[in-house]
Structure 1
Amino acid sequence: MPAVSVAAGCCPASTPANEVVEDIFGLVRILSDGTVVRSPVGPVFCPTTFPENHPSVEWKEAVYDKAKNLVVRMYKPSPAGGKVPVLVHFHGGGFCIGSPSWANVHAFCLRLTADTGAVVLSAGYRLAPEHRLPAAVDDGAAFMRWLRAQSSASANAAEADADAWLTEAADFGRVFVTGDSAGATIAHHLAVCAGVAVVADDAGEAGEQDQDQVTIRGYVLLLPFFGGVERTASEQAECPAGAGAGSLLSLDVLDRFWRVSLPAGATRDHPVANPFGPDSPDLGSVDFRPVLVVVAGLDLLRDRAVDYAERLAAVGKPVELAEFAGAAHGFFLHEPGSEATCELIRAVGRFVDSCVISASEAAA
């Protein structure tokens, strides 16, 4: 693993023998000797003016993996109104930057909780290049195991490991996995792992599936970060006029994210990046729970997300596609109080309700 340091500014002065070879918005820089330098200064595209609290939401942090110092920021409606659905959320950032504590991620989770009336669990994960993929996906799976442990402990009065603050509000029978950009990619891989496990279990093989009181009802992929060697039309178009803050995501930046996050020597057709790459699993054989795919019309990643949804639908998977034609990548983070963000959260709420109703009808 490369050496890591945190610079007082962005990066120490480089020398010809130790120059900067990769730079991501000045937040992460890789030197020629492999040293990774992270800036303690927050990104300029993450405003500090967003409110830290919401009158109808309580929140707190907990460590879900002490060994890796991984934190989950937990949100629940206030005052409590009984058990409510759980939205597990993974932030974006190209697998290299981002945090549940970033002001824009926090503001979005506050509004998501307030407007859906659900518990939201914003889970952190290890970042590249210090921890290359599939580390982030592994951490996503580890968080789901932590959630199962919480549900198991809350159901057993003899257990003392459950967080009562969470378990008094969380309905572990109505869990949804959501993610933004790279976080949506994590959600996709968790859906595949869960679906493969269900198929294996149906075949009488040992497989990991929903256990204890946790039942995953669906997945929400917000502007998923997929890649591939062959360029799509939206990638070739670069940043459309009016993309606003989304114009930060140039094709060069996207390539850089993949270059420093994928395993050394891997291409963008690696299975973590490309769901339909030459070595990727056959999604037609996966037992998918319902999936909502959200795309933005001014996003370089739009075509990959649309293609993903269309391919899932073509093999009979339960998938919905919602497009925000005039929006850029991360629009709900840049303007969490906008009408577009409000409509996005309404779409998520409708999806959650429809999955719960469908499950109730199937059980009747």
Structure 2
Amino acid sequence: MGSDDKEVEVDMAPHVRLYKDGTVFRQNTLPLLPASPEPGEDGVASKDITLDADRGLWARVFLPSSPSASDLTHKKLPVILYFHGGGFIFGSPDWSGSHMFCAGVAKRSESIIVSASYRLAPEHRLPAAFEDGFSALKWLHSQSLHQSEGKHELMDSWLVSADFSRCFIGGGSAGATIAYHLGKTAFNTPYSAASWTPMCITGLVLVHPGFVRGSRTQEELDCYQDKHMNWNMVEVCSKIILPRGSGMDNSYLNPLPIASSPGSPFTLPKSLVLLAENDALRFYILECVEALKHAGCDIDTVMQHGVGHVFFIDQPDSLQARHMLHTIADFINEDHKIL
């Protein structure tokens, strides 16, 4: 029987279609780009590595210089563990939007980017993506331990001269939600900043994070919506990414209840939150940011005007996209500028 004859449970065409028999049809709406171990015109090299073969987890590493050992020994570069967007249901590190964005960040900030994959819903509902993100973070920590012990032969060769005192976790949209959860997990009981020595998680970079709640204000309903963010997509998507029986006020998507809980100790690494004026999510993101600040978190917010949710996917060469890259680069390097 062809897939068109099956009974559909959730239809998010052209991205994902979930059938009632549990099978899934998924289609990439953007092209996939191959890794390029030799630097391209942008001066950034990339390669793919395996993180966990049993779970099919891998990462694309971006290096803003030649990967030869002679180049890597002269300058230590900060590291950014990055997670792609896609509503937890599609996307990958080789997705063109993610690849081009990571290459741009690597070049502008002079950072090594480890763009990690994670299992997708509906085959793997939350918290699978968070668990995979945490596995990637632990893998990065293992690289820092090998470096500190001089066991370079156990490391990925492109990370031998990484500056693990400057590690950042970032992501876009759903990937920013993963990055937020990793920061929360890494800095709060039973973990703490000291748990990751000699690696230091210096900050979070959250690009249009997917923070949502079950209810909508009129302001949110009236805001600009497009193919990358609309309330129908959010409603349908939540049905196939959250554990069955859960609503959107689940803490996986809604950080506000925990962040605003009185008397509950809560901290995050210093964070940069990027917002888009025409993103209907921005209203609630700002509400969550204010609660996090009230809880004592150090957060900078930057609003870009005239653009929508993850606009840089369709407009990678726009003035706003270039401004975003410079903003991220300044945040990554703000404590290490040459005066």
TM-score normalised by L of structure 1: 0.83
Contact 1:234 1:302 in 2 (8 A): no
> For residues 135-178 of structure 1, what are the alpha-carbon distances to aligned partners after superposition, in whole Å with 9 as ceiling and x for unaligned?
0011111000000111112233356321122223x111100111
Cα distance in 1 for partners of 2:45, 2:142 equals 22
Count the aligned residue pairs: 328
1:123-202 to structure 2, matched below 5 A, reads 123-158=116-151, 160-168=153-161, 170-197=162-189
Contact 1:54 1:110 in 2 (8 A): no
1:253-292 to structure 2, matched below 5 A, reads 253-277=233-257, 285-292=265-272
1:75-114 to structure 2, matched below 5 A, reads 75-79=62-66, 80=71, 82-114=75-107
Contact 2:176 2:210 in 1 (8 A): yes
Question: Alpha-carbon deviation of 1:257?
Answer: 1.4
Question: Alpha-carbon deviation of 1:212?
Answer: 3.6
Cα distance in 1 for partners of 2:194, 2:250 equals 25
Cα distance in 1 for partners of 2:296, 2:196 equals 26
1:57 to 41, 44, 54: 44
Q: Tell me which residue corresponds to 2:211.
A: 226
Residue type of the alignment partner of 1:164: S
Cα distance in 2 for partners of 1:129, 1:94 equals 11
Cα distance in 1 for partners of 2:118, 2:290 equals 29
Cα distance in 2 for partners of 1:70, 1:191 equals 20
Give identity over the alignment, percent.
32
Cα distance in 2 for partners of 1:227, 1:21 equals 23
User: What residue ranges of structure 2 are gaps of 5+ in the alignment?
Assistant: none
Residue type of the alignment partner of 1:289: P
Question: Alpha-carbon deviation of 1:105?
Answer: 0.9
Question: Alpha-carbon deviation of 1:261?
Answer: 0.2
> For residues 232-252 of structure 1, what are the alpha-carbon distances to aligned partners after superposition, in whole Å with 9 as ceiling and x for unaligned?
345312535xxxxx4442211
Cα distance in 1 for partners of 2:174, 2:25 equals 21
* 4+ residue segments displaced more than 4 Å: 47-52, 278-284
Once structures 1 and 2 are overlaid, which stretch shifts more, 134-143 or 348-357?
348-357
Q: Given the superposition, is the C-alpha separation of residues 147 and 282 from structure 1 closer, same or farther in structure 2, using an over 3 Å criterion?
A: farther
State the superposition RMSD in angstroms. Answer: 2.6
Question: Alpha-carbon deviation of 1:208?
Answer: 8.0
Contact 1:73 1:122 in 2 (8 A): yes
TM-score normalised by L of structure 2: 0.89
Corresponding residue SS for 1:229: coil
Contact 1:238 1:251 in 2 (8 A): no
Contact 1:137 1:190 in 2 (8 A): yes
Residue type of the alignment partner of 2:185: C
